[in-house]
């Protein structure tokens, strides 16, 4: 079996606009990859089969890997069967993009032998049909995202940031989070300060991010799931100079001034929460 790594991501800021007629919210965010990886083991087989190292992860048609396989071979009557084993390290429902990353990685693997027959634009169309953030994982750079998250503008490389991921593993329904968001008065719209964010990351390692950017879903989540507020406070009290939810999942990330301070926080928090993981951005 051949082995492929599938990385997670964080959302740096998440500006959410009012519901559109098509049922989606306009978003502004920065997607950045992190050094937390799932592993895909793929081999030719006599029948299509998906297995997973983690109990509870669906291995039927609900899994984005199988959706990606079927979407890729939609117009082929006899697609080549594969055996796919998923070694799961990125938690489900964390807002870290694990399922989307898995799907995008499989699309890239499937397209390797058909570079003359499938364009990157068509691959992006397939990716978007699977989920709003799947197209990002076809890219290699951090991206500024607009639209529903699919309008991507690669941005220059950012410095590697020491992060601590933490969460309660509370299941948050994305649909419910957005539904609750729609019940509150719309906040004053502010332009997403992309240039200022990039400058701050390069000059201070994100020390001033709390003055520049926020996750608009975070207040909704913390007011309805108070255990999430506890996670944020633990990260803030451990020395992180910026703390935020990632997307609409249960994971928060703290950005630390140094790897040493991040690792000190890891020692103090690792036994206090169900999920604590040190990573870096890249």
Q: Kindly list the catalytic residues.
A: 9, 133
Please, where are the H alpha helices in 162-224?
174-181, 194-204, 218-224
Task: Print the SS3 string covering 28-73.
Answer: EEEEEEEEEEEEEEEEECCCCEEEECCCCCCCCCCCHHHHHHHHHC
The distance between the two most distant Cα atoms of the chain, rounded to a whole number of Å, is: 57
Q: Do the beta carbons of residue 242 and residue 213 sit within 8 Å?
A: no
The burial of 126, by beta-carbon neighbours within 10 Å (0-12 exposed, 13-18 middle, 19 or more buried), is given as: buried
User: Facing residues of 162 across strands?
Assistant: 280
Q: What are phi and psi of 165, to 5 degrees?
A: -90, 140
């Amino acid at each position: 079996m051949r082995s492929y790594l599938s990385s997670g991501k964080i959302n740096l800021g998440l500006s959410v606009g009012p519901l559109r007629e098509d049922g989606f919210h306009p978003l502004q965010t920065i997607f950045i990859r992190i050094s937390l990886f799932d592993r895909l083991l793929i081999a030719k087989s006599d029948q299509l089969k998906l297995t997973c190292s983690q109990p509870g992860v669906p291995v039927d048609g609900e899994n984005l890997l199988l959706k990606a396989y079927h979407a890729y071979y939609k117009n082929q009557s006899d697609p080549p069967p594969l055996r796919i084993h998923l070694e799961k390290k990125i938690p489900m429902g964390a807002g870290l993009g694990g399922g989307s990353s898995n799907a995008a990685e499989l699309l890239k693997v499937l397209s390797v032998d058909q570079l003359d027959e499938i364009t990157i634009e068509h691959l992006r169309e397939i990716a978007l049909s699977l989920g709003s953030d799947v197209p990002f994982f076809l890219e290699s750079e951090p991206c500024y995202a607009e639209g529903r998250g699919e309008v991507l503008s690669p941005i220059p490389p950012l410095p590697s940031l020491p992060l601590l991921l933490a969460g309660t593993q509370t299941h948050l329904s994305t649909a419910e989070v957005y539904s609750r968001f729609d019940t509150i008065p719309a906040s004053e719209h502010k332009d997403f300060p992309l240039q200022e964010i990039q400058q701050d990351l390069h000059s201070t390692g994100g020390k001033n991010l709390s003055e520049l950017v926020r996750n608009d879903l975070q207040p909704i989540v913390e007011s309805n799931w108070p255990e999430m507020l506890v996670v944020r406070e633990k990260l803030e009290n451990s020395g992180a100079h910026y703390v935020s939810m990632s997307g609409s999942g249960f994971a928060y990330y703290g950005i630390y001034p140094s790897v040493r301070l991040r690792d000190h926080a890891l020692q103090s928090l690792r036994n206090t929460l169900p999920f604590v993981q040190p990573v870096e951005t890249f």
